[in-house]
Amino acid sequence: MARVLALMSLFLALPAAAQQPPAGDEEPPAEVQQPPPVAVQEHPVMALIGSSVTWDSNVFHLPDSVDPQAQLGRPAKSDRIGATYAGLRVDKPYAQQRFLLELTETAYRYDNFTFLDFNALQYQGSWQWHFTPRVSGTLAADRTEAL
């Protein structure tokens, strides 16, 4: 019985002994390196919501020598800006293709200078396709609105 256990431990130890120890901090050649793993999104469709508040001490970038009452009709050059957004993100792989879409609507609201309030629509969409492993491409469109 002792011989059987000794032989089994020898057979189990041989593969471990056959491995070479790591050679310091050397990196393998470029052709051997593997690309980093692609992050897999758990949910192909995600909702986006959020808001922020910003304070701007000089919304129109007026020099200090300018009287804001005469130029703007208000005694102050500063304003607080609130931004609220809602959107949708779709990231759906299908066979050798990937469909990406991000659509966001943002509402900007100024406390003092309400004539600057606006809604901005932003979208980005792309279709990453592969006909063969060597023939592939991306069809994309995007739009951004800003003040």
- Listed by start position, the domains of the chain span 43-58+79-147
Q: Report pLDDT digits (tens) over 78-99.
A: 999 999 999 999 999 998 899 9
Q: Of 126, 118, 129, whose CA–CA distance to 142 is shortest?
A: 126
Q: What was the pLDDT predicted at 33?
A: 54
In whole angstroms, what is the distance from residue 144 CA to residue 125 CA?
12
Q: What is the pTM of this model?
A: 0.63
Mean predicted lDDT score pLDDT of the chain: 81
Q: Report pLDDT digits (tens) over 26-58.
A: 555 555 555 555 555 678 999 999 999 999 999
Planar angle of CA 53, 110, 123, nearest 5 degrees: 70
